[in-house]
């Protein structure tokens, strides 16, 4: 039997997410998309809780990478992208999960439309009990996940800025949109979980790196 080529690489950066990673991985393993055509690359950024134990039942389904030293979110994403075999790359955060048609819909839209640079889906904002808070427009309220890129575009723009431990998503999108467009798919295929440990709750950290972002792009 002929082995299919990996088309899509799903990148999951993870650090201290033992309570959430199982839900995330189950949603990705159970996609309505040929399992041989996508890989799940999980980059463990020196977790100090029981994340590794939580991952262990799923290791056969993963390309597992463990950072030798903590690189932060952007550095871990770059590790995953450099490891990727797929011509399309999409990110899922360890505390989130996705609809079973997540890869299938975004892949087919991008793969069958050469004029599209990238595609992004709407998302549900969820509480920690997995109840819907709101449905969000991915263009009006962009997040770093739920966007399928052509891998060579990410390499071309220089991947994530590893110095921006926060605001890295915004930085990548600013640089990306200078050359390429992102097509909105108005279907909420992504579940973005809100909880107390979200990085977005650290206002001091956000403010620090937002200033760096504004300075980098000369935005007033």
Structural domain boundaries in the chain: 8-216
Is 96 buried (19+), middle (13-18) or exposed (0-12) by CB count in 10 A?
Answer: buried
Is the distance from CB of 96 to CB of 192 less than 8 angstroms?
A: yes
* pLDDT score at 167: 76
| Count of CB atoms situated within 10 Å of the CB of 162 | 16
> What local confidence, expressed as pLDDT, does residue 168 receive?
83
Residue 44: its pLDDT value, please?
97
- Going by the DSSP 8-state scheme, the letter that residue 57 receives in this structure is G
Q: What is the pLDDT of residue 86?
A: 97
Ranges under pLDDT 70 in the chain? 1-3, 195-218, 220
Q: What is the pLDDT of residue 211?
A: 58
CA dihedral defined by 81, 87, 93, 98, rounded to 10 degrees? Answer: -170
Looking at residue 197, its pLDDT comes to 59
CATH for the stretch 8-216: 3.90.550.10
CB count in 10 Å sphere of residue 132: 11
How far is it, in rounded angstroms, from Cα 54 to Cα 30? 17
d(CA 120, CA 139): 8
DSSP reduced 3-state for 17? coil
Rounded-to-integer distance, Cα 150 and Cα 154, Å: 7
| Beta carbons of 106 and 32 less than 8 angstroms apart | no
* pLDDT at residue 164 in the model: 83
């Amino acid at each position: 039997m002929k082995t299919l080529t990996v088309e899509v690489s799903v990148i999951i950066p993870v650090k201290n997410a033992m309570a959430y990673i199982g839900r995330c991985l189950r949603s990705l393993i159970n996609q309505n998309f040929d399992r041989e055509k996508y890989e799940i690359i999980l980059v463990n950024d020196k977790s100090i809780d029981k994340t590794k134990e939580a991952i262990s039942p799923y290791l056969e389904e993963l390309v597992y990478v463990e950072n030798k030293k903590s690189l932060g979110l952007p550095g871990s994403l770059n590790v995953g992208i450099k490891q990727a075999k797929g011509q399309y790359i999409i990110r899922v955060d360890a505390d989130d999960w996705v609809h079973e048609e997540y890869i299938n819909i975004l892949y087919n839209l991008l793969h069958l439309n050469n004029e599209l640079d990238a595609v992004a889906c709407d998302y549900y904002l969820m509480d920690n009990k997995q109840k819907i808070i709101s449905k969000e427009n991915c263009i009006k309220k962009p997040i770093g996940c739920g966007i399928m890129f052509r891998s060579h575009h990410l390499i071309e723009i220089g991947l994530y800025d590893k110095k921006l431990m926060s605001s890295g998503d915004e930085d990548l999108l600013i640089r990306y949109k200078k050359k390429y467009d992102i097509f909105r798919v108005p279907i909420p295929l992504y579940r973005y979980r809100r909880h107390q440990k979200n990085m977005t709750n650290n206002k001091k950290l956000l403010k620090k790196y937002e200033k760096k972002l504004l300075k980098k792009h000369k935005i007033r």
